[in-house]
Amino acid sequence: MTTGHEYVHGYSDFERTRLVDQATTLTEILHFDTSYPPGSLILEAGCGVGAQTVTLASRSGGAAILSMDISAESLAAARERTRSAESTNVVFQQADLYSLPFHPESFDHVFVCFVLEHLARPGEAMAGLKKVLKPGGTITVIEGDHGSVYFHPESRHARSAIQCLIDLQARAGGDSLIGRSLYPILIKAGFQNVRVSPRMVYVDASRPDLVDGFTRKTFTAMVEGVGDRAIASGMIDADTWNRGIRDLYRTAEADGTFCYTFFKAVARKSGERE
């Protein structure tokens, strides 16, 4: 017998799903559960221009964050961004992910977001980060997966345009399909308690913030950004490209839908916490 209580419980479970499924911004979808305890020291490896740094700093106001990147230019932009956001708990350092300048077991937690996709040797980077992590500390890795994209209406031109982005990233030594591989990468690097949580972004007209903020201005804009290189390299002809981009924007219309999945992995370094 279903009781009134169980019915309410069923509805409450639905509310829980809704929290995740219907978050209206990418930041909520990726970071609603990114939070570190006061007093902890966090390494943000590969902060780039600081797109995630501000969120990290505000969601863990009591933690100290060391954000590093190999590019001085990116670090300058990240510094400016955290200054504008009035973050007071972030310091920056220029460093190479493959040759970290930190003592072993320096950090309570490590945070890596949209970095592995650009690396030729993600496993080596993970092993280096494990060294500077304290025993019992966690690593959080967030990556996209361009092979997780599908949409309505379907379009082979749009698929060809997306494939250019995937191929260009592969030529540059990266892997834009890395999201689905986080589990084996972290296991192979010797991490324990590896838990991967997919963060699917599902977009239809009932979610106007995501139609505009994700389908148009994040994903399609990103594909559009490699158009000149893709056409110049002979990967695709201009007509197919233009039609592909038009078809991606078409999925943002009232009867269109769009799907993309990010993967968030959290794993632990073995050993007792200090």
Which positions touch a copy of itself (CB under 8 A)? Answer: 1-4, 6-7, 10-11, 13-14, 16-22, 32-38, 59-63, 145, 147-148, 150-152, 154, 177, 180-181, 183-184, 187-188, 194-198, 200, 202, 204-206, 254-257, 259, 261
Tell me the backbone φ, ψ of residue 91, rounded to 5 degrees. -120, 150
* Least distance to a copy of itself, CB of residue 163, Å: 13
Q: How far is residue 224's CA from residue 211's CA, in Å, rounded to a whole number? A: 16
Q: In angstroms, what is the minimal distance from the CB of 70 to a copy of itself?
A: 27
* Cβ pair 108, 221 in contact under 8 A: no
Q: How far is the CB of 159 from a copy of itself (least distance, A)?
A: 10
For residues 176 and 147, give the distance between their C-alpha atoms in angstroms, rounded to a whole number. 8
Q: Which is nearer to a copy of itself, 18 or 83 (CB)?
A: 18
Residues 183, 185, 188, 191, Cα dihedral to 10°:
-60
Whether 161 contacts 223, CB under 8 Å: yes
Q: Based on CB atoms, which residue is closest to a copy of itself, 13 or 96? A: 13
Residue 100 beta carbon to a copy of itself: minimum distance, rounded to whole angstroms: 26
Question: Between 62 and 104, whose beta carbon lies closer to a copy of itself?
Answer: 62
- Which one, 95 or 141, has the nearer CB to a copy of itself? 141
Q: Rounded to whole angstroms, how far apart are CA atoms 139 and 177? A: 20
* Residue closer to a copy of itself (CB basis): 2 or 99: 2
Amino acid identity of 187? Answer: I
Q: Shortest Cβ distance from residue 37 to a copy of itself (Å)? A: 5
d(CA 235, CA 230): 6
Contact 47, 75 (CB under 8 A): yes
